[in-house]
Amino acid sequence: MDTAAISYRVADFLREHPPFDGMDVSDLRAFALLGRVKFFEAHQFIVTEGASRFDVFVIEQGTVLLWDERSADARLLDVRGAGAMLGIEGVNAANTYPYSARSASDVLIYSFPAHEFDSLIDKYPAARQYVSAYGSGGKGYRSRDQDDPQGARIRNLSGPKRFASCSANASIRDAGRQMLETKAGVLVLLDAERRARGLLTAGSFVEWTANGAGDAEQPALTLCERPLTVTEDTSVVTGMLSLAAGDASALTVTTDGTPDGQVLGTVSPEALGIAFGDRPHEILQSIRRAANLDELREGNQRSRLLVRRYLTSTASSGWLSSFTCLVDTTILRRILAITSADASLCWCFCGPAGRAESLTALAPEIVVVAADGDQATCREAFQRVQESFAECGYLPGADDGFEELFHAASLSDWKQRFQEWIEDPVLKKIYLARPFFDLRPVAGNESLFRELAAHVSGAVNREFLYVAANDCLGTLPPLTFFQDAVVEKSGEERSVFRLEETALNPLVDVGRVFGIAAGKAFGTSTLDRFAIASRLLPGDAAIFEEASITFRTVLWQQGRVGLAQRSSGAELPPALLSPYDRQVLRTGFQSILRLLEWFDDLEWVNKI
């Protein structure tokens, strides 16, 4: 067969695999002419760790094992088959091979000059993005053909250019006249230094009238809501979340983002909504106004559709989990209002919802704390709310090993339970109770939560931390993906990727221990806890930053798959993962393993 025919065959093979899929055929054929065919028998070295990277390789057939040989005991890193590449990591790091690669069977490989490969992928952003996954673990990844409002800024909107205003000393009559003349939806009351002292809307006047009106010559400030201020550089996402959390009528843009800055303009919920296909603020408003559980279910479903649409990157998982936390919290508060629940109870989330990390439609795990003596009332209210959540379209949560009514108890009972978990973590099965250390108050009498949090923080001791830390090491991440199977560290192949158990939970569990050690377990997220660890152990900040990147990636994958399949996203067949997804997760597995190996040396406990 002549050389031209061989190059055509090689080009046809390349275009079936990333990063070459999507490239022009002419570029692939020119690149294929540079290639050489190499054959290796089983157990031969293909590349050696630390050797200069002159070539990249594409496996045409056979299986190759990648080994880390920096220590006396070589460690298996990955298993790669047909279509996979070797030497691709050099694009992101030093120009040497970071591993040794040995054939596990007879292997046929195409070899290409590394500099020609690097030049080729520079022509194709999608190819460059795929290759970057071999070093970055998906940091900054954004899906193709999807707009992400994460990068949009307030200054890019048309709203904050002009705004209606009047003096902070104006009367109600004068302010109302000004709104009519300008036909403004929002009126800003300014002091002499052009600082915002309040906002008026048509609703302000309606409420004033409904409450009996009164003297129209009174100061308009008596009707105002407090300004919610941001800068022009605030992201649209941050502005939306602030507006939704504060239930405000508009954002006020100032020179420094504080009420003391000069006003540059206002941004309405409608203007923010331009950046979204469905307006998050309106979804939350519809939930707050819902008259029954059917309307709450509609709001919940709209919110999850929005999340599915914009869950396009590792970065988007952050703001969308904040949004779903607001949705779940608002639904719970509205259920309590509809069911006329006892206001003396303290309602909390625990587990993923308690960490503000629940992207799927899985029902939040609820904990109720009652004043001593109110346990019967507490349990009745808990059951009503649980039934209401099911009617709002949530999926049932997994069995956590406790009876359902265990989640509703008096303050004294909760104190005793936490005390027992801390004093005897082995016999009291602390591994089952870990989600309760993720408590976040969301409604009701929060003084009960504060008393419980103070009690738990005071009870934690060094021995408990040792046991809790050791429990984090029971589950290791997988080794790799091979074909449509996930390969465990033991070499066992599984048809189902246990994403939550083997990738998400190890990160969550390590972060939780740091939160407990710092006295800030309750009310914090996994990313908050890694940030705490970085501050407490600045010399090891790099490993926590790497873990944070991996956590965002795994949470993104869980949410994306869970929303698409209407499941918890805890498990999925590897066939659902694209080649890019698989490589990002492979990189993440190595990051998790490095974190656990570092964590296994409990010397860090003595440094905190």
pLDDT digits (tens, 9 = 90+) for 536-559: 999 999 999 999 999 999 999 999
* Domain final residue, candidates 409, 444, 459: 459
What's the pLDDT at 294? Answer: 94
Burial 28-39 (b: 16+ CB within 10 A, else e): bbebbeebeeee
Low-confidence ranges of the chain (pLDDT < 70): 1-6, 90-94, 135-150, 158-161, 274, 277-278
- Given this model, what pLDDT does residue 245 score? 80
Specify the long-range contacts of residues 385-392, CB closer than 8 Å, at least 24 apart.
Answer: 385/332, 385/335, 385/336, 385/339, 385/341, 385/347, 388/293, 388/335, 388/338, 388/339, 389/331, 389/332, 389/335, 389/363, 389/364, 390/363, 391/293, 391/297, 392/293, 392/296, 392/297, 392/300, 392/331, 392/335
> Do 576 and 501 belong to one domain?
yes
C-alpha–C-alpha distance, residues 77 and 364, integer Å? 37
- Here the CATH number for the domain that contains residue 115 is 2.60.120.10
CB 587 within 8 A of CB 133: yes
Give tens-digit pLDDT for 215-244. Answer: 889 899 988 888 899 998 888 888 888 887
Instruction: Report how many domains make up the chain.
Output: 4
What pLDDT, on the 0 to 100 scale, is given for residue 278? 65
User: Do 455 and 313 sit in the same domain of this protein?
Assistant: yes
Instruction: Let me know if residue 175 belongs to a domain.
Output: yes
User: From start to end of 150-276, where are the E strands?
Assistant: 164-167, 186-190, 196-201, 228-230, 251-254, 263-267
- Looking at the fold, whether 116 and 188 belong to one and the same domain comes out as no
Angle of helix 375-391 versus helix 293-310 axis, rounded to 10: 60
Q: Quick check: is 522 in a domain?
A: yes
Please indicate, yes or no, whether residues 261 and 285 belong to a single structural domain of this protein: no
Quick check: pTM over 0.85?
A: no
* Whether residues 224 and 78 fall in one domain: no
Residues whose CB falls within 8 Å of the CB of residue 322, separated by 6 or more in sequence, listed in order: 241, 356
Q: Are 314 and 556 in contact (CB under 8 A)?
A: yes
The whole-number pLDDT of residue 148 equals: 61
* pLDDT computed for residue 474 by the predictor: 85
Look at residue 130 and tell me if it is in a domain: yes
Domain of 41, in residue numbers: 3-136
- What is residue 525's predicted lDDT score, i.e. its pLDDT? 96
Task: Report the 10 Å Cβ neighbour count for 396.
Answer: 11
User: Are residues 203 and 337 located together in one domain of the fold?
Assistant: no
